[in-house]
Structure 1
C-alpha cells in the first residue's frame, strides 16, 4: 500500500501525481527549485497534520493545494529550521544531558567545609531538611567537624537558577559593556547625543532628566552638546536615579513620577531591556559589546558551585569536553563508585551513555555540552533531532528529512544510514530530500523531481 499524492499544485508544483511506498526509505532528488520541499513539507506533511488533528476535532489548518493524499499516517518532520534562539540554550540543556550531570554532582560532589576546611563528600554527609517560611531548605553536616551548611542541590549546579548562576553575569558567562559610540559628544540630546534615542523619545527623556537635575539642584545644560556637560551632569544622564552621585538620603525622597524627575538613566534602562529579553535586542547590538565575565571567567556558575568536584573534575570543565571524552568519564564513575553510591546515580549514567552513543552515530561526538545551541549548523541541529527520535518506540510514522547529510563527514554517513534503517525496521516510512550519492545508494525507492 503506497502513499498516493494526487493533483498537487501548491506553490511551484504543476498538478503532479506521486506514489511513495510505505515502510521504506524513499529519496526525492532533483534540481534546486523543482519543488521537493514544497511537495514534502508544504503538501504531504501539512495534509498529514491537518487530517490527524481533525480526527481529534481540532479545526483550522488550511488544506494544502492538493486533490487528495491517500494512506496517510501521523508525520514528523526533521529539518534545518525551528531553531532554539535562546542564548542560554546549550547542547547540554537542549538534550537534558546537563540535567543528568547536575544530578550526579548533587549526589556525589566533593567540596570544602567552610569551617574546618576539610574536603567532604555529599554522599558521606548527614542531611537535614528544615521548613522555613513555607520553603524547604536542605542542610548537610560536615562529617569531620559537624558544622551545618546548605547542601548543594541540583539547582546550585544550574546557571539558569538564582542559586547556581554567577551573580555578576547572571549565568551568561559574559559581561556586557556600553560602547563609546552610544554617546555623540558633539551633539545635544535632542539632536542625537544619545544614539538610541529617536527625536520624540529624546524630548520626553530630556524633560525627565531636567526634572531630576532641578530636584538635585544641579545646573541644567540647556541646548549644549554632551561634550560640554560637567562630569556630574553626564553621570546623571547615564545613570539617572541610580547614580552614585545621588546620596542615599536623597534617594529616599526621589520623585515617584517620570516627568517630576524619576529619570531611570540611559544605561540602567539598557540593562533592564537586556534582562527582560534575556539577550541583547537587535536595536542595541551596535552599542553593546560582549566580553568574558571577570568573576566566573565564562563558567557561568557562582564560586561555590563551580568549585565542587566529582572524580576531581569540576562541572564547568566537564561541559567543555567533547562527548567522546565525556563518555569515558562516565565509564570511570561507573567503575570507581561503590554499589551504594552507584545506586544513587545509575539512571543518570545510563541516560547520558545512551544519548551520547546515539549522537555519536550521526557523527556529532566532537560537540561539547557547553556549545551554544544557536551556533549549531542546520545540518548539525537536524541530526540531533534524528538522534532524539530514536528514543521513540512509535511505529507507522511518516518521518520526513531534509538533506540530513549536509555538513556530515563521508565517514559518518554510514552511522546515519544505520539509524534511518532502524527507524524503517520499526515499521516507519522514511522520506528524505537528498543529493549525496552514497546515501542514495541505500534508498529502497527513488523519486526524481
Structure 2
C-alpha cells in the first residue's frame, strides 16, 4: 500500500468502536471490521485463517508504530522503526499491549518472583518488619539505645567493678600494631586481647598468623547510681569506638555482656547492620550466596562421566579425562599410582580398588613417586587429583576449548551452602511467622497465599502497621496469579523452565495488577494447557480487565471463552489463501 498517514480516530469514534478498514496484511482480503471498545472480543476460526494477522500483525503493530511516533527523533534512531501494516485506516485504537505465548526470560536469575515483582514486595516486607535471629545461637537479636544500655548496667551490675569494652577486631588475622598505636593515641592504655587483659606499650603487636579478638578498655568503673552521667558518657564513647557495639564484664573475670545500637546477639555479641531490601535479593552482592553467586546451583564434577565404561582398561581410556594413556605428566602420575599399588594398566577401570580410584580422582596428602624412565629417576610430585584439575580448568583456563572440555565432565547441583535459596546465611536469619524469605520462595503459590492470610495474627502491633501496605500488595498480586490458574508454581521457579502458556498467564496477572485503563490487550490462546476449573478463573480475569475500562481482544478456539465474550468474530472460511475474510460477527448467542 502507499506510504501515507493512517486515518486517526475522531473523538466520537474513539469512544464507541475500533474500526478497521481495508486490512490486507498476509492473507487478509481487504477486511473491514468494527469492534466494540471496552468489551471482551474473541477472534476465532481455523488455524491459518488470518486471526493473528488481524490481531497482532495489524492492530498491535499499528499501535506500536503510533507509540514510536510520539517519541523524539533522537529516541527513534535507537529503537528503529516499524513497517506500516497493510491497512487503509484504523480508528479508535487505544494504546496496545500484546500478551503472547513466549517464554519470559532465559536469564538464570529470572524467577516467577522477580518477573511478577512479588519478590520485590517480599524483600521490602522482610527488611522493614521481620524478626532477626542470631546466626550463631538462633536467639532473637536485640538492640538498645544509649540510655537503655546505661540503665541496664545500673540495674544489673549495681555495686560491681566493671570494664567497659569497645570491640575493635573480631575473628581476624593480623599483627595490629597500628591499631594498638591508634588506641593508645586516643588515651586508652589497656585492651582485652583474645580474652586476656593486657597493658599496651609502644610497638605492641600480636601474632599476625593467628585469629584474634581485640577490645579496647574504655573505662573501669564501680557501678553506683550517683555515677549515672559518667556511665552514660562512657557507654557513648565505647559505642562510638566500637561502631555501635560494646560489652561490659566484671574486673575479676567472667563472660562479657554485649550491647549494641544495631541488631545484636545477646550471647555472642554478633551484630547485624539494619536490613535493607537488597539484603534479601539474590541479584545483589549484599544478599547473594557467596558460594553460588545467587544462582542456587553450582557446577560439580560428575564421577559417572569420569569412568563411563567400567569394562574399559585405563590404558585404553577407562578414565575418560585421560583418554588413551599418553606420555604427559598427568598420565605418568596415574600410571605411577597404579604401579605403586601393584595394578596393571590393562586392568578394567571398574576393577580398580575404591581407595586407589579415590587417590586418582581426589588426590592424596602424600607425593606420588613417578616411575624411572630411560635411566632417569622419576622423582616425587604432588597430585591434586583429576577432579580438582577439572574444576580448576573449568574456572580458570584461558583456552575456551579447554574450559569446554572440563565442563563436559561437570553437572549443576543444588548449592550446598544456601540449599537453593540463593541467599547468604545472614539473609535467612530474618523471619516472619517463623519462616525466612527463602522458605516462602519454595512454597507453591496456593500455600504461600494461605500462609500470608494467617500472618497478621503472628505480628506485633508495630510489625502489623509497617507490614500493612506491602502485605496488601503481595496478597493482591498473589490473588491475580491464582485467578489465572498458576497456584502450583513457586516464586523461586526459574522462568526459563515454564511453558509459553504459563508465561502468558504470568504476564496477564501482572497486567491486571498494574491497574491500567483505556488499553487494548491482545492475547493469543491463553486457555491452552488449562484445566477446566482454571479456565473459568481465566475468563473471570479477562472480564476483570474489561471491567476496569480496557478493551480485551483474544485469539481463541475455546468454546467457554467464546460464550463468555461480548463480541465474537469468525475469520475464515478456510486457512491460507482460502481464509482472510470475516465469515460472521456479533454477540456469541447469534453463533451458538
Report the TM-score when normalising by structure 2.
0.56
Q: Which residue in 2 is equivalent to 1:31? A: 46
**Contact kept in structure 2, 1:126 and 1:140, CA below 8 Å:** no
Q: Which residue in 1 is equivalent to 2:17? A: 2
- Alignment partner of 1:431 is 2:553: yes
- Alignment partner of 1:230 is 2:333: no
Alignment of 1:353-364 (within 5 A): 353-364=475-486
- Alignment partner of 1:409 is 2:531: yes
Cα shift readout 1:192-215 (whole Å, capped 9, x = no counterpart): x999xxxxxxxxxxxxxxxxxxxx
**Contact kept in structure 2, 1:126 and 1:143, CA below 8 Å:** no
Select 1:119's aligned residue among 139, 148, 165: 139
Q: CA deviation at 1:232?
A: 8.5
- Alignment partner of 1:109 is 2:131: yes
Q: SS in structure 2 opposite 1:112?
A: coil
- Alignment partner of 1:63 is 2:84: yes
Decide whether aligned partners of structure 1 residues 444 and 351 sit closer, same or farther in structure 2, where only a CA change above 3 A counts: same
Q: SS in structure 1 opposite 2:513?
A: coil
CA distance in 1, matches of 2:33, 2:241: 66
Q: Return 40-49 or 324-333, whichever deviates more.
A: 324-333
Q: Which residue in 2 is equivalent to 1:174? A: 297
Decide whether aligned partners of structure 1 residues 113 and 84 sit closer, same or farther in structure 2, where only a CA change above 3 A counts: closer
Decide whether aligned partners of structure 1 residues 343 and 36 sit closer, same or farther in structure 2, where only a CA change above 3 A counts: same
Q: Which residue in 1 is equivalent to 2:108? A: 87
CA distance in 2, matches of 1:166, 1:44: 46
**Contact kept in structure 1, 2:394 and 2:404, CA below 8 Å:** no
Asked which structure has the greater CA Rg, the reply is: 2
Q: SS in structure 1 opposite 2:521?
A: strand
Q: SS in structure 2 opposite 1:120?
A: coil
Q: CA deviation at 1:271?
A: 3.5
Report the TM-score when normalising by structure 1.
0.72
CA distance in 1, matches of 2:31, 2:409: 52
Alignment of 1:182-201 (within 5 A): none
Q: Which residue in 2 is equivalent to 1:320? A: 442
Select 2:473's aligned residue among 341, 351, 362: 351
Q: CA deviation at 1:126?
A: 5.7
Decide whether aligned partners of structure 1 residues 159 and 232 sit closer, same or farther in structure 2, where only a CA change above 3 A counts: farther
**Contact kept in structure 2, 1:327 and 1:356, CA below 8 Å:** yes
Decide whether aligned partners of structure 1 residues 397 and 285 sit closer, same or farther in structure 2, where only a CA change above 3 A counts: farther
Decide whether aligned partners of structure 1 residues 29 and 231 sit closer, same or farther in structure 2, where only a CA change above 3 A counts: same
- Alignment partner of 1:155 is 2:278: yes
- Alignment partner of 1:388 is 2:510: yes
Decide whether aligned partners of structure 1 residues 149 and 229 sit closer, same or farther in structure 2, where only a CA change above 3 A counts: same
- Alignment partner of 1:78 is 2:96: no
Alignment of 1:137-286 (within 5 A): 140-142=262-264, 144=266, 147=269, 149-151=271-273, 153=275, 154-178=277-301, 227-231=326-330, 270-271=394-395
**Contact kept in structure 1, 2:394 and 2:407, CA below 8 Å:** no
**Contact kept in structure 2, 1:321 and 1:369, CA below 8 Å:** yes
Q: SS in structure 1 opposite 2:502?
A: helix
Select 2:30's aligned residue among 4, 9, 15: 15
- For the aligned residue pairs, the C-alpha RMSD in angstroms reads 3.8
CA distance in 2, matches of 1:319, 1:10: 45
Q: CA deviation at 1:335?
A: 1.5
Q: CA deviation at 1:448?
A: 1.2
Cα shift readout 1:63-111 (whole Å, capped 9, x = no counterpart): 1222222221211111112621111111112222222222333332331
CA distance in 1, matches of 2:135, 2:289: 20
CA distance in 2, matches of 1:173, 1:186: 39
Q: CA deviation at 1:5?
A: 2.1
**Contact kept in structure 2, 1:108 and 1:121, CA below 8 Å:** no
Decide whether aligned partners of structure 1 residues 158 and 130 sit closer, same or farther in structure 2, where only a CA change above 3 A counts: farther
Q: Which residue in 2 is equivalent to 1:258? A: none
Q: CA deviation at 1:29?
A: 0.8
Q: Which residue in 2 is equivalent to 1:298? A: 420
**Contact kept in structure 2, 1:8 and 1:14, CA below 8 Å:** yes
Q: Which residue in 2 is equivalent to 1:372? A: 494
CA distance in 1, matches of 2:145, 2:525: 54
Select 2:463's aligned residue among 337, 341, 362: 341
Select 2:563's aligned residue among 436, 441, 445: 441
**Could you list the runs of 5+ residues in structure 2 that have no partner in the other structure?**
1-15, 147-238, 244-259, 309-313, 335-388, 398-402, 572-592
Q: CA deviation at 1:146?
A: 9.0
Decide whether aligned partners of structure 1 residues 298 and 338 sit closer, same or farther in structure 2, where only a CA change above 3 A counts: closer
CA distance in 2, matches of 1:98, 1:126: 32
**Contact kept in structure 2, 1:323 and 1:368, CA below 8 Å:** yes
Decide whether aligned partners of structure 1 residues 407 and 139 sit closer, same or farther in structure 2, where only a CA change above 3 A counts: farther
CA distance in 2, matches of 1:439, 1:81: 21
Cα shift readout 1:234-254 (whole Å, capped 9, x = no counterpart): 99xxxxxxxxxxxxxxxxxxx
**Contact kept in structure 2, 1:6 and 1:66, CA below 8 Å:** yes
**Contact kept in structure 2, 1:139 and 1:150, CA below 8 Å:** no
Decide whether aligned partners of structure 1 residues 398 and 109 sit closer, same or farther in structure 2, where only a CA change above 3 A counts: same
Q: CA deviation at 1:45?
A: 0.6
Q: Which residue in 2 is equivalent to 1:211? A: none
Decide whether aligned partners of structure 1 residues 173 and 126 sit closer, same or farther in structure 2, where only a CA change above 3 A counts: farther
**Contact kept in structure 2, 1:125 and 1:142, CA below 8 Å:** no
CA distance in 1, matches of 2:49, 2:405: 38
Q: SS in structure 1 opposite 2:262?
A: strand
Q: Which residue in 2 is equivalent to 1:238? A: none
